[in-house]
Structure 1
Amino acid sequence: MNSRRQFLRNTSALTLGSLVVPQLTQATNLFSAVATPPIGIQLFTLFGLMNEDPKSTLEKVAAVGYKEVESAFSLRGNYYGYTAKEFKALVSGLGMTWRAHHAGGAPFRPRAAAPRPAATGAPAAGGQPAGGQAPPQRPPMDFSKMPPMLNLRDNYQQLVDDAVEGGLSYLVCSSTPVATVDEINKSIEVFQKTGEAAKKAGIGFAYHNHSTEFDPVEGGKTPYELILSQTDKDLVKMELDLAWATKAGKDPVELFKQHPGRFPLWHIKDIKADKNSITEVGNGVVDFRRAFAAAKTAGLKYFFVEQDMAPGGIDSITTSYSNLNKILA
């Protein structure tokens, strides 16, 4: 399974560890009279395509109907080879809003190369690509040539400054070492400093989870519990990944009730019944309707479709967009 954590582990060593559907604008039945945020996308979903040709890829994303963008790291460095100001202009020029950016909580060191995902032909049952036609093969990605990546431990102020220059609403920690209490405590220190800097700059800061944050560590507490309880709720918000929470056996709605207003960002990700295979939104077992019905309790402001390095590329994000519109309708 291609989770971001697995991807980073495979490519790095942590130190410190075409259907176009009209945009839905209101869904009062699910949102309890709260206006529905526009549908957004986390660009890690299109990792290979964004590294090949970010401008062309974003044009296709906009054509599907997505209105909000959350960026991730890139082999091109910076923001897909652009400065924050340049990337904002590119996204805005396509009728979308660059809303948030993912940055690692600690440094990682890329290896020389890794297999590159196909852009089209989402695998069907039995591993055969959809339509029975093999997706185009691409050469391995060469991580040895990737420019140094900024991280929150060492570069939180620069990342905050870039976020302000890009007009972002949130800076988000994509992943951080949480295998031990010591790692968790160090990460919490980074989160507090980043949250303070972000608030001073007039933006928000949030933490994005995987499933392992719900695994108990020394003392029986989970990293997620410790992060929630030992950070300032006004400085450190959460970006809940609904699929990873579901995989861990957690009920997103119960999390919202326990920590109301703490979840302004969501990842709209789906997972199959095996709890191992990430799939297009609506093709798995995540109960999105129930989650969206509790959006007001969560404090939801923005949400982003994510399918980690989607094998179907644009076809996959089109399916997710169409299905999500049906879910929200």
Structure 2
Amino acid sequence: MDDVNRRRFLGAAIGTGAAAAAAGAWTPAARAQQGGGGGGRRNVPNNRIGIQLYSLRRLMPNNDRQAVRRMFNWLGRAGYTEVEMAGYYGFTAQQVRNWVDAAGLRAVSGHDGFDLNAPDGQWEAAYEKTLEGAKTMGQQYTGLAWFPGPYTADYFHHLAERMNKAAKMASEAGLQFFYHNHDFEFSNKDEAGKPLYDILLNETDANLVKFELDLYWIVVGGESPIDYLSRDPARYPLYHVKDKTWKDRPNEQDWEDVGPGAIDFPDIFAAGHRNRLDKHFIIEHDWPLLSHPDDPDAEYKTAQTGLNYLREVRW
């Protein structure tokens, strides 16, 4: 798509839902009407709708100042209010913060890792610098998003201990720590047959360690987000709102734009509801090109479709 046509597409998409229509006949509004229930009593506040920037990585290459600023500005014009960080693209945290602010956005959270395996006394200094970057961005939340294994009960006990220490450091820096799941925490079990994820829930300080529930990965892992959210909604201040293509293939990895997909978000949101203002709804799609093959504007369409859905959904 040439630059002129791209600008026309993006201009039409903002406020009209054209990108969602381009993604499929089953629009986010129609999906919301079918799944919302309850007479539309609750909805996602506009100031709690964000996107994980990993979803847009193809359009935000490292050291490309214009591309990074262009993406932030588009997100702000489209109607997003929050972003979740996934690195600084080769720039300083302050530079990126300036561009986020200028676009009218807020970096509410970030995936900011730390060394899980270094002995105590050797990883803390590096993590302090990571926390400084998160504070510079103005983040409220800082989280561990992934680790390479091993996926054993013994290692998860170690992980819970290390998370408690990191969370205490984050709290002292004025940040709330969280852990973001994939599928392996649920598909791997302990000797009693319980998901390893439960070790993290049970052995971490509930005040210091919160959880960002990735609604796609927990389903792929074979567990119910409704069950977990119903037990303790306050433990989950952040959602990754990510969708699947096939409802009848729960363990299959397949990605879809949020809205046209198969996950029943209204029931999930209802289960996690305490005070709607205590949640952040963060759109994510691991591979937008899977939903829009060979489309140079795949990321824009995915971002717009998800935004439209969260604006319309009721439960």
Asked if 2 retains the 8 angstrom alpha-carbon contact of 1:103 and 1:173, the reply is: yes
Asked if 1 retains the 8 angstrom alpha-carbon contact of 2:112 and 2:142, the reply is: yes
RCO comparison, higher one (Cα < 8 Å, 6+): 2
The 1-side partners of 2:300 and 2:116 are apart by: 30
1:205-244 residue pairs with structure 2 within 5 A? Answer: 205-219=177-191, 220-244=193-217
- Per-residue deviation at 1:33? 8.7
Asked if 2 retains the 8 angstrom alpha-carbon contact of 1:261 and 1:297, the reply is: yes
The 1-side partners of 2:49 and 2:43 are apart by: 17
- Per-residue deviation at 1:178? 4.8
Unaligned runs of 5+ in 1: 1-17, 74-78, 109-151
Asked if 2 retains the 8 angstrom alpha-carbon contact of 1:157 and 1:194, the reply is: no
Amino acid in the other structure paired with 1:163? A
1:1-329 residue pairs with structure 2 within 5 A? Answer: 18=10, 19-21=13-15, 37-51=47-61, 52=64, 53-73=67-87, 79-106=88-115, 155-176=126-147, 177-219=149-191, 220-273=193-246, 274=249, 275-297=252-274, 300-311=278-289, 312-328=298-314
* TM-score for both structures, normalised by structure 1: 0.71
The 2-side partners of 1:302 and 1:178 are apart by: 30
The 2-side partners of 1:32 and 1:322 are apart by: 16
Asked if 1 retains the 8 angstrom alpha-carbon contact of 2:167 and 2:176, the reply is: yes
Say which SS state the counterpart of residue 280 (structure 1) adopts: coil
Amino acid in the other structure paired with 1:320? G
- Per-residue deviation at 1:86? 2.0
With 40-49 and 153-162 compared, the bigger mean Cα shift is at: 153-162
The 2-side partners of 1:67 and 1:217 are apart by: 38
With 216-225 and 79-88 compared, the bigger mean Cα shift is at: 216-225
Amino acid in the other structure paired with 1:20? I
- Per-residue deviation at 1:301? 2.4
In structure 2, do the counterparts of structure 1 residues 253 and 92 end up closer, same or farther at CA, with 3 Å as the change threshold?
same
Say which SS state the counterpart of residue 194 (structure 1) adopts: helix
The 2-side partners of 1:212 and 1:38 are apart by: 28
Amino acid in the other structure paired with 2:304? T
Bigger fraction of residues in helix: 2
Asked if 2 retains the 8 angstrom alpha-carbon contact of 1:42 and 1:305, the reply is: yes
Say which SS state the counterpart of residue 201 (structure 2) adopts: helix
Say which SS state the counterpart of residue 273 (structure 2) adopts: helix
Say which SS state the counterpart of residue 171 (structure 1) adopts: strand
The 2-side partners of 1:276 and 1:21 are apart by: 31
Equivalent residue pairs, number: 261
Amino acid in the other structure paired with 2:186? F
In structure 2, do the counterparts of structure 1 residues 170 and 233 end up closer, same or farther at CA, with 3 Å as the change threshold?
same
In structure 2, do the counterparts of structure 1 residues 235 and 218 end up closer, same or farther at CA, with 3 Å as the change threshold?
same
- Per-residue deviation at 1:36? 5.8
- Per-residue deviation at 1:31? 6.9
- Per-residue deviation at 1:241? 0.5
The 2-side partners of 1:233 and 1:84 are apart by: 29
- Per-residue deviation at 1:282? 0.9
Say which SS state the counterpart of residue 227 (structure 2) adopts: helix
- Per-residue deviation at 1:250? 2.2
- Per-residue deviation at 1:314? 1.0
With 244-253 and 86-95 compared, the bigger mean Cα shift is at: 244-253
- Per-residue deviation at 1:67? 0.9
* TM-score for both structures, normalised by structure 2: 0.74
1:142-165 deviation per Cα after TM superposition (whole angstroms, max 9, x unaligned): xxxxxxxxxx78732222222122
The 2-side partners of 1:272 and 1:261 are apart by: 29
Say which SS state the counterpart of residue 101 (structure 2) adopts: helix
RMSD of aligned alpha carbons: 2.8
- Per-residue deviation at 1:43? 0.3
